[in-house]
Amino acid sequence: MLSWPLRLIYTAVLSVLIALSVLIALTVLIGNAQAATGSWSSQLPGLMVAMSDRASASQTVTAPKGANVQAGQLERIHWQFQHPPGAQLNAWLCHPEQCVALTGMRGSTTALAGRTANAPLHFRFSLSPGQRPVRVQGLQMIVNYQ
């Protein structure tokens, strides 16, 4: 029998794997429906968010070398991240030209459509005032570009 912290971690990992499978399936379906030229995905390391007055940024990610995004433009970005239940975080998905407020721990946006596809992307997080530090993990994005 696993202890409760290990069960919690096991459940979180299993949830991430299931969600990633769903996101990949959705990307294929949506990508085909929108005739996207290509897509790429990335997982980022987790981070500790400790302040409400200053945002914490994840590592940046760019398209892998095999993706032909030089003249491409972003279309749709799917995102996912996890934090403990009850945590109140402000979250953004950022391109060098613009950040977009995220509405939840997973979803998709076309708000960055038309921006250059070869630019680095990252997540930003800040706490609501009075919140204790929060560990954000399971950061993923799937980027469709044309």
Q: What is the pLDDT of residue 32?
A: 43
Q: What is the pLDDT of residue 2?
A: 56
pLDDT above 70 (res 80):
yes
Q: Residue 24: name the closest of 140, 145, 122, 137 by CA.
A: 140
The residue ranking higher by pLDDT, 113 or 11, is: 113
Look at domain 4-145 and name its CATH class. Answer: mainly beta
The answer to whether the beta carbons of residues 48 and 132 sit under 8 Å apart is no
Residues 20-37 pLDDT 10s: 454 555 555 554 444 448
pLDDT above 60 (res 69):
yes
Residue 88 CA to residue 84 CA, distance in Å, equals 9
Residue 62 CA to residue 135 CA, distance in Å, equals 23
Poorest-confidence range of 2-16, 58-72, 96-110, 114-128?
2-16
pLDDT above 60 (res 6):
no
The answer to whether the beta carbons of residues 40 and 85 sit under 8 Å apart is no
Q: What is the pLDDT of residue 143?
A: 97
Beta carbons within 8 Å of 50's beta carbon, 6+ residues apart: 56, 127, 133
Q: Which residue has the tokens 């940046």?
A: 60
- The whole-number average pLDDT for the span 37-60 is 94
What mean pLDDT, rounded, does the chain reach? Answer: 84
Strand partners, 124: 57, 92
- The whole-number average pLDDT for the span 3-26 is 55
